[in-house]
Amino acid sequence: MSLELKLQQASTEFQQLQADLSRVVEARQRLDAQLSENELVKKVCHV
């Protein structure tokens, strides 16, 4: 395989990882928001 192809493949894979990371970070932020929300409910309501 030529060097260009290898570079292209590696950088495509890198970009795929970046996309994965941003997707997971988004999920993490959503969970974070839900966590603090439910903690607030718990705190205010003395559940």
Partner 1 sequence: MPCLIAIFCPSQSRNFIQEFAQLSSENTVFKLIGTVLVKQDQAEAKSNVNTRLEFIRSEMFGFSSDPIKSKLTNKPCSRRVEGQIKDIEQNQEKKKGEVGFYCYSHPGLPLSLPFPQLVQIQTALRQAPPASTPTLPTPV
| Interface positions, 1-47, toward partner 1 (CB under 8 A) | 1-4, 6-8, 10-15, 17-18, 20-21, 24-25, 27-28, 31-35, 37-42, 44-47
State in angstroms the smallest separation of the CB of 22 from partner 1.
10
Number of residues interacting with partner 1: please give it, by CB under 8 A. Answer: 36
- Residues 1-40 as b or e (16 or more Cβ within 10 Å = b): eeeeeeeeeeeeeeeeeeeeeeeeeeeeeeeeeeeeeeee
Residue 47 in 3-state DSSP? coil
Round to whole Å and give the CA distance between 13 and 43. 44
Binding site for partner 1 (CB under 8 A): 1-4, 6-8, 10-15, 17-18, 20-21, 24-25, 27-28, 31-35, 37-42, 44-47
